Amino acid sequence: MSSYCSSEGGFSDSFISSPRKSSFLKGEDDNVVDREINDVIETFRRQNPSSSKIAEIDAALDHCRRELKELLQTEAEQSEEDGSPSVDEENNDSEDVVTKLRPFLMRKRNKEKKQMYFDKIVQLGLERQNLEENEGLSSDKLIRSMGHEFEIQPMRGRHNPCCEVCMHTIWRLVQTWRRCRVCGLRAHDKCTESTRRLCSGVIASRVEFAVATSISEEQSLADQDYKCAECSSPICYDGPADQEPRLCDYSGELYCPNCHWMDTWSIPARVIHNLDAAPRPVCRAVKHLLAIVDRRPLITIDESHASLIKFHKELRRVSELRRHFLVMKCYFISCRNARKIRILQYLNQHSHFVDSATSYSLKELRDLCNGTLLSELEQIFVVFRKHIEEECETCKGNGFFCELCEKGSPEGEKVLYPFTEDTRMCKDCLAVFHRRCFEKRSMQCPRCERRKRRSVPLEATNEESVVQEKIDQTEATDSAGTAPLEPKQIEGDPAL
């Protein structure tokens, strides 16, 4: 049985250099080291049935190290013996040639076996590291500091990041480093306890948190007492490069180069007031914060931004589509076919669109400025409309006919929906009419008028019945209070 750490089921050839392939990539019958490791692992499994793969690899590594140590000691002893002159070396000219070659063959065999152990130790070590990374069995636990949740990071990677605490390079291969799984802050393992910046995830999770919607004024050095707004280190324009003030466009404050890396992000206030999604420089703390809330619907664009909606064609169309989505949701909730195919899944990235027509996320507003949001919503609107008007008989049956059109006109026979172009919907009964017909009728809904006419006789009848009941009660009370008394028998009355 082949083991998962044997040369056949282990790593590919790319992990072994070409000089080692001759000794490492041998068949199972020829490679003695593979057979030894298989036996060691099988023995370890019998002794420890509940052991993990990492424990089995550790047992195999211990075996390889012991054998390698013995080979190195044997090689050292043989070197000492070869260096010391033999007493009867000159008198043994007739010694057999095979006997002379035996030490040489033993040294060559031990050298190959030593190379096998070296290769196997490297292979097992890499396999152990892969298991730790994939299964999350690293011995280092989660470290919490200032709201951060630091996780150990793998050694492999294309770039060496910078520690945001000590501002030195993190060398992946020789230094252990961690990354906050909430905000993404990176730091050496030894620097995590020295973090002074509060995690942006803690700030964003507060109940009173709200994105700044007013463009901040730029602070001066005098306002900040010539100190960084975050770490309070000295900053000035005439000083060295590490004291250069850098402006954060989100907060309007000045920061030192350690706290401001010239990262750029779209500023919510400028997007709301000017629909300007151009990236602007922000400090590291703000960059982490905006990255966390980038997809959260925290920005409201309603009637208070009427002028912005009026003069921005795409925003006006998006607002109209969102109102249509709210109406279409009512169709889909009452439709069995729509629930079966989960048609609202088309809005999975904009799930809040079916809850409100005024809330936006920063990413959605940025996509609106770039022109990608409108095209995406138009495609979704086509799918929704096709289901209601063509594909589903249930949704099609919930349409309306314009009651204000002239009888026999072709327009009056068309089925209307709240999202049909050039239509108006009654805000009371939700009936749909042509815009021209509804405005011609002075926006008077015939459906509501019929309901009012039917309710008037009913109310009059109810009032008459109430009045009649009161009259009957009054008459009954009067008759009971003035009832004639029974005549008493009087003695001597001739009538008796």
One-character DSSP codes across 311-360 = H-HHHHHHHHHHHHHHHHHHHHHT-HHHHHHTGGGGGGGGGGGGT-SSEE
pLDDT tens string 274-301:
889 999 999 999 999 999 999 999 999 9
Residue 389, pLDDT > 80, answer: yes
Residue 489, pLDDT > 60, answer: no
Nearest 5°: CA angle at 381, between 375 and 384? 150
Give CA–CA dist 348/342, Å, rounded: 10
CB 209 within 8 A of CB 289: no
The string over 350-389, giving b where at least 16 C-beta atoms fall within 10 Å of a residue's C-beta and e elsewhere, is beebbeebebbbbbbbbbbbeeebbeebeebbeebeebbe
How confident is the model at residue 173, as a pLDDT?
A: 81
Of the pLDDT bands very low, low, confident and very high (cuts 50, 70, 90), residue 309 is confident
How confident is the model at residue 486, as a pLDDT?
A: 46
How confident is the model at residue 345, as a pLDDT?
A: 92
**Token pair belonging to 419:** 């999202």
Those residues whose C-beta lies under 8 Å from the C-beta of residue 67, and which sit 6 or more positions away, are 36, 117
Per the model's pLDDT, the better-predicted residue between 190 and 116 turns out to be 190
Residue 139, pLDDT > 60, answer: no
Per the model's pLDDT, the better-predicted residue between 129 and 279 turns out to be 279
Residue 394, pLDDT > 60, answer: yes
How confident is the model at residue 473, as a pLDDT?
A: 67
Per the model's pLDDT, the better-predicted residue between 466 and 304 turns out to be 304
Give CA–CA dist 84/263, Å, rounded: 70
What DSSP letter does each residue of 114-152 carry, written as one string? HHHHHHHHHHHHHHHHHHHHHHT--S---EEETTEEEEE
pLDDT tens string 10-44:
433 333 333 333 333 344 434 677 888 888 888 88
For residue 404, the SS3 value is: coil
Residue 56, pLDDT > 50, answer: yes
The average pLDDT across 262-274 equals: 94
Other C-beta atoms lying within 10 Å of the C-beta of residue 304: 9
Per the model's pLDDT, the better-predicted residue between 441 and 310 turns out to be 310
How confident is the model at residue 377, as a pLDDT?
A: 95
Of the pLDDT bands very low, low, confident and very high (cuts 50, 70, 90), residue 458 is low
Of the pLDDT bands very low, low, confident and very high (cuts 50, 70, 90), residue 111 is confident
Architecture of the CATH domain 143-194? 2-Layer Sandwich (3.30)
How confident is the model at residue 347, as a pLDDT?
A: 92
The average pLDDT across 158-185 equals: 92
Which of 130-134, 137-141, 356-360, 432-436 has the highest average model confidence (pLDDT)?
356-360
Could you give phi then psi for residue 108, rounded to 5 degrees?
-65, -40
The average pLDDT across 47-55 equals: 83
Give CA–CA dist 22/35, Å, rounded: 17
pLDDT tens string 467-478:
567 666 665 555
Those residues whose C-beta lies under 8 Å from the C-beta of residue 5, and which sit 6 or more positions away, are 37, 41, 56, 57, 60, 120, 123, 124, 127
Q: What number of residues does the chain have?
A: 496
For residue 36, the SS3 value is: helix
Per the model's pLDDT, the better-predicted residue between 93 and 274 turns out to be 274
Residue 52, pLDDT > 50, answer: yes
How confident is the model at residue 239, as a pLDDT?
A: 87
How confident is the model at residue 33, as a pLDDT?
A: 79
Residue 399, pLDDT > 50, answer: yes
How confident is the model at residue 122, as a pLDDT?
A: 83
Residue ranges of the chain that CATH labels 3.30.60.20: 143-194
What number does CATH give the domain 210-293?
Answer: 3.30.40.10
Nearest 5°: CA angle at 22, between 19 and 25? 115
How confident is the model at residue 468, as a pLDDT?
A: 65
How confident is the model at residue 31, as a pLDDT?
A: 64
How confident is the model at residue 25, as a pLDDT?
A: 36
Burial of residue 472 (CB within 10 Å: 0-12, 13-18, 19+) is exposed
Could you give phi then psi for residue 282, rounded to 5 degrees?
-135, 160
The average pLDDT across 218-246 equals: 93
How confident is the model at residue 61, as a pLDDT?
A: 87
Residue ranges of the chain that CATH labels 3.30.40.10: 210-293
CB 23 within 8 A of CB 116: yes
The average pLDDT across 421-448 equals: 84
Q: What is the pTM of this model?
A: 0.63
Closest CA to 275 of 240, 313, 243: 313
How confident is the model at residue 264, as a pLDDT?
A: 97
Of 362-371, 373-382, 440-449, the range with the lowest mean pLDDT is: 440-449
Nearest 5°: CA angle at 74, between 73 and 78? 120
> What percent of the chain stands above pLDDT 70?
78
The average pLDDT across 453-480 equals: 63
Residue 131, pLDDT > 70, answer: yes
Of 46-55, 342-351, 465-474, the range with the lowest mean pLDDT is: 465-474
Give CA–CA dist 343/126, Å, rounded: 47
